[in-house]
């Protein structure tokens, strides 16, 4: 499950599109150029953190609570890590943490839910939902990842792309490919 969550996080960070959700806890990429990536994220208390990554210079400029903070890139084991004498910015994917003098002053983590269902035919459907961005990555019987985006459902869930549709309520889930049911629980 950790591997699936890690792969989903990597896939989500490579995507420049986010879904508009009614959720105050979100991250969005606003502008991308060859050298600069600007992102804005908010925590569950409504605080906003604006970050501009300068990939060619190895720096990040953070705007938080009216302060502009310049940071220098460090070598992380994974994800990203920027520091100066007082602040430390780190994260992976959409998850971000800002510390001041070692104390966490801002934290954003996507709401991730992982679920696996098996039907009577022995098929297994692995699903990693990112409730913050309104996306799900599904794997049918360890096959290729299928990336879907949330749609407004009357009740239950509804995710689609141009080829697949995932609908359901509770543990009653149906995955269709080009209109044909390929998994049903």
Torsions phi, psi for 55 (to 5 deg): -65, -30
So what's the pLDDT on residue 17?
38
Contact assessment for residue 19 and residue 86, using Cβ atoms and an 8 Å cutoff: no
Greater pLDDT, 130 or 31: 130
Percent of the chain with pLDDT over 90: 73
Does 24 have pLDDT greater than 80?
A: no
Does 136 have pLDDT greater than 80?
A: yes
Mean pLDDT of 7-33: 44
Domain boundaries, the chain: 24-108, 112-184
So what's the pLDDT on residue 102?
96
The alpha carbon of 1 is separated from its chain's Cα centroid by a whole number of angstroms, namely 16
Q: Are domains 24-108 and 112-184 of this chain identical in fold?
A: yes
What are the CA-CA distances from residue 150 to residues 59, 156, 179 (Å)?
34, 11, 17
> For residue 169, what are its two tokens?
């309520």
Residue 23 confidence class, pLDDT cut points 50, 70, 90 = very low
Greater pLDDT, 16 or 42: 42
The per-residue pLDDT for range 57-95, each reduced to its tens digit, is 999 999 999 999 999 999 988 999 999 999 999 999 889
What is the fold of 112-184? Answer: Lipocalin (2.40.128)
Does 131 have pLDDT greater than 60?
A: yes
> For residue 47, what are its two tokens?
């605080």
Q: Give every strand in the sheet of 164-169, ordered side by side.
A: 112-118, 124-130, 135-140, 146-150, 157-160, 164-169, 172-177, 180-184
What is the fold of 24-108? Answer: Lipocalin (2.40.128)
Mean pLDDT of the chain: 85
Residue 26 confidence class, pLDDT cut points 50, 70, 90 = low
């Amino acid at each position: 499950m950790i591997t699936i969550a890690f792969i989903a996080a990597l896939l989500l960070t490579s995507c420049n599109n986010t879904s508009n959700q009614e959720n105050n806890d979100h991250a969005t990429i606003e502008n991308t150029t060859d050298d600069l990536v600007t992102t804005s994220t908010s925590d569950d208390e409504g605080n906003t953190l604006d970050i501009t990554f300068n990939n060619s210079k190895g720096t990040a400029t953070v705007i938080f609570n009216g302060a502009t903070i310049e940071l220098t890139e460090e070598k992380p084991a994974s994800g990203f890590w920027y520091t100066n004498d007082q602040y430390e910015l780190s994260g992976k994917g959409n998850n971000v943490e800002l510390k001041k003098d070692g104390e966490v002053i801002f934290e954003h983590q996507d709401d991730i839910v992982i679920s696996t269902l098996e039907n009577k035919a022995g098929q297994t459907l692995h699903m990693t939902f990112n409730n913050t961005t309104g996306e799900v990555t599904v794997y049918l019987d360890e096959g290729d990842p299928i990336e879907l985006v949330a749609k407004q459902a009357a009740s239950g869930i509804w995710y689609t792309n141009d080829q697949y549709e995932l609908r359901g309520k509770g543990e009653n889930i149906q995955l269709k490919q080009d209109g044909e049911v390929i998994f049903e629980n």
